[in-house]
A and B are shown apart, each in its own frame.
Chain A
């Protein structure tokens, strides 16, 4: 029940972030959505990802504030004409039909599709020796995933630094 209240407030916050005219309040509503997502992770019993979400959200807020607060942001305020709205409604309805078919095939909550994850939970401690089951999964059983993530971050930061540097900029 609490989870649904949090989700509804998150949806309202993201709508406010889209519709508001002030860039500062828009960024603050995005921060509200991120922090409530952190609380939702805590309700679902995932403290690892809640800590990561909280810390990354704070960093993203700082960077967004510094990047946007003193700039002239052009706000597009043209209203859509009727054919465009009809098109959008048609496409969203089309997506929703397939979305419904997709989520009706999903397994029940807390009942994973792959039986191997139960094996991880049962024998994670004795096979890896790590008391934190998340660490034993992401750094031992699924270490390839973490290597890929590290590569993604490396490439993303390298690209950002190359694009933002002063020397050799086109």
Chain B
């Protein structure tokens, strides 16, 4: 990688990215919470929340978020979201069957309505946010080993294709 990836962009871009990433994060939460009323939902909101962190990483360089979060936090959040979604599904057994909507429906067009659908949206959003950011970290932090030979087989991408 070249030095621009390590140091990031100029000071103006860094400052603006810090402000705008917060707004993007809040907008992602809005899209998730209102997912059962307006277009959007868990998947789109989770991707928007992950985008807000992508902006920070791209503007400030690769190592910017390395010290902020604990190691393995995002894989844990990923697993937490997936198990929350499955747990909500199993909660339906209290009423009789898998994925049954047992909570009260409420009034339409309210934020707290539609029973378990907002909860499903939130768990999916958490899962998508954590998993996309973990994948992005894995892609940007990985280095390609060039022309390394072991046991006579070529493991590098450049030579094998």
Contacts and interface: CB of A to CB of B under 8 A. Distances in A.
Interface of A: 47-48, 50-52, 55-56, 58-59, 62-63, 66-67, 70-72, 74, 125, 128-132, 134-136, 138-140, 143-144, 146-147, 150-151, 153-154, 157, 160-161, 164-166, 169-170
Contacts, number: 137
Contacts of B145: 169
B142 to A, nearest CB: 4
Given A51-B40, A129-B115, A140 B48 contact: no
B39 A48 contact: yes
Given A129-B108, A157-B78, A135 B35 contact: yes
B131 A153 contact: yes
B138 A134 contact: no
A145 to B, nearest CB: 11
A70 B124 contact: no
Interface residues of B, number: 58
A158 to B, nearest CB: 8
B124 A146 contact: yes
Interface of B: 1-2, 31, 35-41, 43-44, 47-48, 50-51, 54, 58, 75, 78, 82, 85-86, 89, 99, 101, 105-109, 113-117, 120-121, 124, 127-128, 131-132, 134-136, 138-145, 150, 155, 158, 161
Nearest to A160: B135
Contact of B138 (A66, A131, A144, A165): A165
B105 A129 contact: yes
Given A62-B58, A72-B158, A139 B139 contact: no
Nearest to A73: B158
A48 B54 CA distance: 23
28 contacts: A48-B41, A52-B41, A56-B47, A59-B54, A66-B139, A128-B101, A128-B117, A129-B107, A129-B117, A130-B108, A131-B36, A132-B35, A132-B37, A135-B114, A136-B114, A136-B117, A139-B120, A140-B117, A144-B99, A147-B99, A151-B82, A153-B131, A154-B78, A154-B127, A161-B134, A161-B135, A165-B142, A166-B142
B72 to A, nearest CB: 11
